[in-house]
Amino acid sequence: MRPMKIHLCSEVVRDLDFRSQCAFARAAGYDGLEVAPFTLSPDPTRLAAREIRELRIVAEGEGTPVAGLHWLLAAPAGLSVTATDPTIFAATCEAGRRLVDLCAGLGGAYLVHGSPGQRQLKPGREDEGRARAAAYFAAMADAAGAAGLRYVIEPLARLDTGFVNSVDEALDLIAEIGSPALATMIDCYAASANGEDIPALLDRWLPSGAIFHIHFNDDDRRGPGQGGLAFAPIVAALNAHGYAGAAAVEPFVYEPDGPASAARAIGYLRGLEAALASGSGA
């Protein structure tokens, strides 16, 4: 069994400066950082090429490369992929393109598009909002494809948004757009909140190659192993299908704090991998 590449979502340790985030992630046992752009700047879409280059040098110098970006469009405020206002929508598309450039400049390979606050459907104008979002993702597919990156549409919990809540819905949207630069993923918290059996979900979709990425978080929004989800079957399913894609730890509630939550999570997941490799289970 080859250990998965597991990255740390940077907002978990956002109280540290960027160099310290990288050093912490490496020391804790992570393979890299999955960066939330809003942690870099009040407007990460306006970072200069020099600033981006310096961040990449820091990450790679610390032995913690940037794997990709996630939690997109949170800054600057007011962006939305479902916006019916043409000015807001145009600004959102421009911000998305700049985030693709940011990801490429940092050395990342993918952008994970979750961001429930920036994909809400306006009551009575749901169809228009969905059409706007499809146009946005088509534009991002073009930008990501040109940069050699993947743009990942993340199914989210129905409690958080009514737009794209399942792998099926994400794949339908990707098929509609028809770009190989688009992909989808599984977020453990979101799938659990929607009542899905995660090992069964993996068994269904991994053989087809449809799943590009995994977010590890528990059903109570804390780190993996701190809630009610059984992660041993999830790790076993990933291993059984030879999953070689990226994964990241993304709790939303940090207990007792961000660094401790992150350190516990990677130790727990690596422990499950070791138990599986030894044949002892978990």
Strand boundaries in 105-157, DSSP class E: 110-113, 150-153
Overall pTM > 0.85:
yes
Own/partner pairs, 156-161, CB within 8 angstroms, 24+ separation: 156/114, 156/116, 156/119, 156/187, 156/190, 157/116, 157/189, 157/190, 157/193, 157/194, 158/193, 158/194, 159/193, 160/116, 160/190, 161/116, 161/119, 161/120, 161/121
Residue 163 phi/psi, 5-degree rounding, is -115, 115
Distance CA 169, CA 184 (A): 10
Helix axis angle, 49-61 to 18-28, nearest 10°: 30
Distance CA 53, CA 22 (A): 15
Distance CA 197, CA 195 (A): 7
Chunk the chain into consecutive blocks of 10 residues (it has 282) and report each block's average pLDDT, rounded to whole numbers.
87 98 98 98 98 98 98 98 97 98 98 98 96 98 98 98 98 98 98 98 96 98 98 97 94 98 98 90 56
Which range of residues forms the domain containing residue 30?
5-278
Position 281 scores a pLDDT of 60
Tokens of 41: 């700047």
Q: What does DSSP say about strands 182-187 and 110-113: parallel, antiparallel, or unpaired?
A: unpaired
Distance CA 120, CA 126 (A): 9
Query: Rounded to a whole number, what is the largest CA-CA distance in the chain?
Result: 57
Any idea what the CATH number is for the domain that residue 203 is in?
3.20.20.150
Q: Which residues neighbour 179 within 8 Å (Cβ) at sequence distance 6 or greater?
A: 138, 141, 142, 145
Pick the closest to residue 13 from 45, 32, 39, 37 (CA basis).
39
Position 279 scores a pLDDT of 84
Hey, what amino acid is at 158?
R
Residue 35 phi/psi, 5-degree rounding, is -90, 130
- Asked if 185 and 195 touch (Cβ cutoff 8 Å), the reply is no
Distance CA 17, CA 141 (A): 31
Q: What separation, in Å, do the N-terminal and C-terminal C-alpha atoms of the chain show?
A: 15
Please state the domain count of the chain: 1
- Asked if 243 and 2 touch (Cβ cutoff 8 Å), the reply is no
